[in-house]
Structure formats: C-alpha cells, structure tokens
Amino acid sequence: MSDHDEAILAASARRPIVPLEKGKFYTYGTAGFRMKADLLEGISFRVGLLASLRSRKLNGQAIGVMVTASHNPAVDNGVKIVDPLGEMLEQDWERYATALVNATSDQHLVEVYNLLAAELKIDLTASAKVVYGRDTRPSGHKLVAALADGLTATKTEFVDFKILTTPQLHYLVRATNSEGTPLAYGKVSEVGYYEKLAEAFVRAIRGRKITGTLQVDCANGVGGPKLSEFLKHIPKDKVSFDVKVVNDDVLRPEVLNLDSGADFVKTKQRAPPNPKPQPGVRSCSLDGDADRLIYYWVDPETGFVMLDGDRISSLAASFIGDLVESAGLKDDLRIGVVQTAYANGASTNYITQHLKLPVICTPTGVKHLHHVAQGFDIGVYFEANGHGTVLFSPDAINAFKNKEPQSPAQKDALDTLAALADLINQTVGDAISDMLLVEVILAHKSWTLRDWALTYADLPNRLVRVEVSDKDRFKTTDAERRLLSPDGAQDEIDQAVKKYKDARSFARASGTENACRVYAEAATRTEANELADRVARIIERYGTL
C-alpha cells in the first residue's frame, strides 16, 4: 500500500462512481469516457489517478486530460487522456483506465491503483505532472474539480489551462514536454499557440491573396471565442483574411451543437439553417470542440455542395505532393494518405489513380489513422467527418530546412513546406489549423470552392444508424469493411451490394454509441439510398435475433 491510499480513499468518497446495472461496465472508448455529464464526476476523479500513474511511468512527462464531448449535445460530457507528444493515450493503457473506473468501492479503487503501480513497476514517490483543459459545457467545471482531487490525492503537479479547444490542449501537452529542447513545439501558453499558427500562416501564404469572405460556423462551441482570439494575432499588413464568425454563442449551453457544426453539416448534408445560407459564400463548420472541419457553399445553380474530410485530405495531399516535387524531394520522401472505410470511394480512386499516392485504410478512430500516418515521411490522414491532419517525419522537416535549393522555385517550395509543417497541428486534427491550411492552398492555387469540388465527383452515399439489442455481436475484419459475425450477415450484404452499380456497403458497431452504423455508396443517389436501406434491414434482423 502506498502513502497515497488514505488521500485517495477520502477523496474517492466525495467523488463516487454511479453504479451501472449488473453486467455493464464503463469503457474507455474511441473518445475516452463519454456519456451524460452527471455520470462523469467519479470517472473524472479516477482518470486523475490514471493520468498520474501514466506520468510517473513516463519519467514525469506531462500527461494531458481534456474534458469535452465534442459534437454531442450539451448534457453530455467526456474525459480523454493525452500522451506526452500530444497523441491519444496508448492503447494498452485504455484497459487500465477501464479497470480503475470500474472499481466497485473506494477501497477496491485503492487496491486497483496499487496493483497497477506494482504491475507496471511505477515508483509512486517519483514526480508526476498533468495539464488539463475543458470545453464550454457547464458541467466541465465540476468535472475538472473532480480531476484535480485525483491529482492532489496522488501528489501530482498540475496546470489548469481552463477553457480550450481539444487541439489546443494537445498542443500544450507537447509544448510542455518539449520546452527547452531542440524539438520545442511552441510556447507553453494559449497565446503561444495563436502566435505559432499566425506566424506560420503568414509564411505559408507568402503574399498571396485570399479572396472573398470566409464564414465560419463554430457550433456555438469553444471554437468560436478561440477563433476570434486567434484572428487578432494575424498581422493585417501581411495577410488580409476576412472571416465572419457565426454561431459563436457560448453563453447559452442549450445551443451547443444545435442545428450547427461540422457533424450537423456532414450527417444532414446541408448548411446550418442559421444564419440563413447566402448563395456563393465560402463557408465552413467546426464541431463543438474544434477538432473537425467541413467546408461547403450553396451554389446558386446546383444548391448545397459539401467538401468533407476526404476532400481536405486529397487537397492537402495534392498540394503537398506538388510542393515536394518542386522542391526536388520526390525521391527522398514517402507521401501517403490514410483513410477509413467511410472515405468516399471516389476520393480513394482520385488519390491512387490521379495523384498516384498510396492509400491505407484503417479502422475508425483517429488513433489508428495517426499511427499508420506516422509510417510515412508525410502522412495525410482524415476521417470523412472532417477530423484529421498531416504528419511530417523528422527527416521531412530536416529536408525542408536544410536542403540547398537549386533555384528560386525550389527555395519557394521548400520554404512553403517548412511553413506548413509549423502551421499544421502535428498532435491531432485541429479545425482552426486545418482551416488555415485549406485557405493557404486555395490562395496558392487561386481556387474557389467550385474549382476544388471539380477535382472529382463524390459517389452518392448514405450513413444510417441502426438500433440493435447487442452491438458487440457485430465483429468486423479488413479495417471494418467486412463482418465476421453474426454468421451469414456479410453474405447477405454481399448479395445486396451486387445488385447496384459502383456500389459498396459495410456495417459495424459504433465505438461511441450503442448502435450499429451502415454505410452505403453507389452510382446514383437512389441506388445509394436503396442499398443503405437494404443493408440496414439486414443488420436490424441480425441485431434482434
């Protein structure tokens, strides 16, 4: 038993876990622990214990904790752990988090804590540090207080960065751990984040002109005030960037993610109703914690057109691929694109056949994409829902900075690449950083959103949510593109897909909700809808057997 025991026991009694019905457990999923906020206080406290263990295991490096439920309604919240380089918690540790959170009593919690420390050979007297932040949800306040109790009980040093976007917290974790080293990621402050982005943005734009106004819908989440703050850091004499921030009301919690935001736009495939969409305006939406981004405009002739994560991915891959070629680095650096099964088939074709870049498909959840993207010198990864980023290897960054340019054009390409490596958040998908990337690319290419949309035509597609009695019976293989069980379900899906042209469909259990998701795409809208319905019925039938 450690000398933390009594403190943990006492604090745990003040931050109890809400027991679940028999046989049910809390699990650390794709998005950490996420549920109704009133279930989360005890969980947040226990996450504090876990974060302290993780920091001690990693020689006192700072671990991050973010309190957010992203695009979910205001009554939800979530707690997520961030590793020292700003990445998602290492997968092995998810089960330790799950074990702590499901301890059945205060005493049992202390036992699990000490058991983990022993098993993982953690010195509980070593120093530990945690940095944390939260989005604008009112429940966040109570949850970080519970978290701080866990940190205090375990004698962990902590910094409360208050209200942040999720990517800002990831930035701060990495900045904290790299401070004073040759790999310093940036100043350890929210202002440091703005300064880094603004400086890199000016360098990446290189005097090119951004045309027209960009309207940014912030889902009434934390992205609104943070984007407004960022904009103050752009030097007006160097870049003229006309941004209209809308849906940035963070004072009324009930409007968070309501009929607005990247998730609304992507799932409803239409512009938010407020403010009333004006034809031709270049627009984009962030989600509630500003780590997803979707572009769109309402065309006076054809109506709503959306540019989602797949589009951002192919735009970035194409632009960076061209720059690498102009910089004379094509033979030195491997560029690749990472997608999930939800990527539109047309985007995959465009990237492999037109851009001639390799594409790897991984299971859903950015931790999988991020990991695979690290295998390239330049790894572009996005989920179709608009979460993603571009990762640059140390070799790539070294080449941008140190390669001797053979011509002014080569120098220009190298300088732009170096600026992009600073502009693009290397820790996690970041809607504000990704938005600046898109604006830089459009300015360089002198493209409108229509020019961008013309690069390829999306296959019509549909995503359906299907309620089932036990989603865990649905097991997948091949990066979630095929069902292994229940027996016979995949055969039926295959038969259904065969009936349609250019069709593809798959079903999987959601990692964040108690349901299955069915995705279908086909040559026409009618066919895509019909196929989605058919497969949804198959899943419904197997789901209630």
Contact range with Zn ion by CB under 5 A, out of 66-74, 120-128, 323-331, 483-491: 66-74
Instruction: Name the binder of 291 from ligand NG1, Zn ion, none, CB < 5-8 A by kind.
Output: Zn ion
Question: CA-CA distance, 47 to 56, in Å (whole number)?
Answer: 14
Task: Find the part of the chain contacting ligand NG1 (CB under 6 A) among 105-113, 177-185, 250-258, 505-513.
Answer: 505-513
In terms of C-beta density within 10 A (0-12 exposed, 13-18 middle, 19 or more buried), how is residue 301 classed? exposed
* Alpha-carbon distance values, 327 to 318, 334, 445 (Å): 14, 14, 17
Which residue, chain included where needed, has tokens 């409007």?
255
Listed in sequence order, the residues at least 6 apart from 495 whose beta carbon sits closer than 8 Å to its beta carbon are none
Residue 314: closest CA among 298, 333, 336: 336
The residue whose two tokens read 């962990």 is: 156
Structural tokens at position 480: 């979630």
517 touches ligand NG1 by CB under 6 A = yes
Query: What are the tokens at 458?
Result: 């999306």
Minimum distance of Zn ion from residue 504's CB (angstroms): 26
Strand-pairing partners, residue 336, are 379
- Least distance from ligand NG1 to the Cβ atom of residue 460, Å: 17
DSSP state of 494: H
Q: Does 387 bind ligand NG1 (CB under 6 A)?
A: yes
Q: Would you tell me how many other CB atoms lie within 10 Å of the CB of residue 203?
A: 17
Give yes or no for residue 30 binding ligand NG1 (CB under 6 A). yes
470 is in an annotated binding site: no
Give, as one character, the DSSP assignment of residue 331.
T
Which of 459, 432, 467, 122 is closest to 287 using CA atoms?
A: 432
314 is catalytic: no
Q: What binding mask, one character per residue, do residues 247-286 give for Zn ion by CB under 5 A, x or -?
A: ----------------------------------------
The residue within the footprint of Zn ion, chosen from 289, 422, 430, 527 (CB under 5 A), is: 289
**Residue 377 assigned ligand-binding role:** no
Which range touches Zn ion (CB under 5 A), out of 156-164, 180-188, 291-299, 499-507?
A: 291-299
Residue 66's DSSP bridge partners are 80, 133
Binding residue for ligand NG1 (CB under 6 A) from 385, 416, 461, 505? 385
Is 70 among the annotated ligand-binding positions?
Answer: yes
Under the binding rule (CB under 6 A), the answer on residue 27 touching ligand NG1 is no
* CB 143 within 8 Å of CB 122: no
Residue 528 backbone phi and psi in degrees, to 5: -60, -45
385 binds, among ligand NG1, Zn ion, none (CB under 5 to 8 A by kind): ligand NG1
What residues contact 299, with CB distance under 8 A and at least 6 apart? 279, 280, 305, 450
Among 217, 383, 521, 530, binds ligand NG1 (CB under 6 A): 383
Question: Closer to Zn ion at the Cβ: 287 or 415?
Answer: 287
From the candidates 44, 70, 318, 393, which is the catalytic residue? Answer: 70
Question: For residues 532 and 431, what is the distance between their CA atoms, to the nearest angstrom?
Answer: 30
| Contact window for ligand NG1 (CB under 6 A) among 104-112, 133-141, 331-339, 512-520 | 512-520
285 binding ligand NG1? (CB under 6 A): no
Q: Is 231 left (phi over 0), alpha (psi -120 to 50) or beta?
A: alpha
Q: How many C-beta atoms lie closer than 10 Å to residue 322's C-beta?
A: 15
Among 83, 287, 310, 383, binds Zn ion (CB under 5 A): 287
Q: Which stretch binds ligand NG1 (CB under 6 A): 144-152, 343-351, 382-390, 466-474?
A: 382-390
80 scored as a contact of ligand NG1 (CB under 6 A)? no
Are 497 and 345 within 8 A, CB to CB?
A: no
Residue 212, SS3? coil
472 appears as a binding residue in the annotation: no
Q: What is the dihedral of CA 316, 381, 66, 5, to 10 degrees?
A: -150
Q: Site map for ligand NG1, 322-361, x if CB under 6 A?
A: --------------------x-------------------
Contact between 70 and Zn ion per CB under 5 A: yes
User: Does the footprint of Zn ion cover residue 217 (CB under 5 A)?
Assistant: no
User: Whole-number minimum distance, CB 263 to ligand NG1, in Å?
Assistant: 8
With CB under 5 A as the rule, give the number of residues binding Zn ion.
Answer: 4
Give the side-chain half-sphere CA count within 13 A for 287.
28
Residue numbers belonging to the annotated binding site for Mg(2+): 70, 287, 289, 291
Residue numbers belonging to the annotated binding site: 70, 287, 289, 291, 383-385, 508-512, 517
Positions that interact with Zn ion (CB under 5 A):
70, 287, 289, 291
Positions that interact with ligand NG1 (CB under 6 A):
30-31, 70, 342, 364-365, 383, 385, 387, 510-513, 517
- Catalytic residue ranges: 70
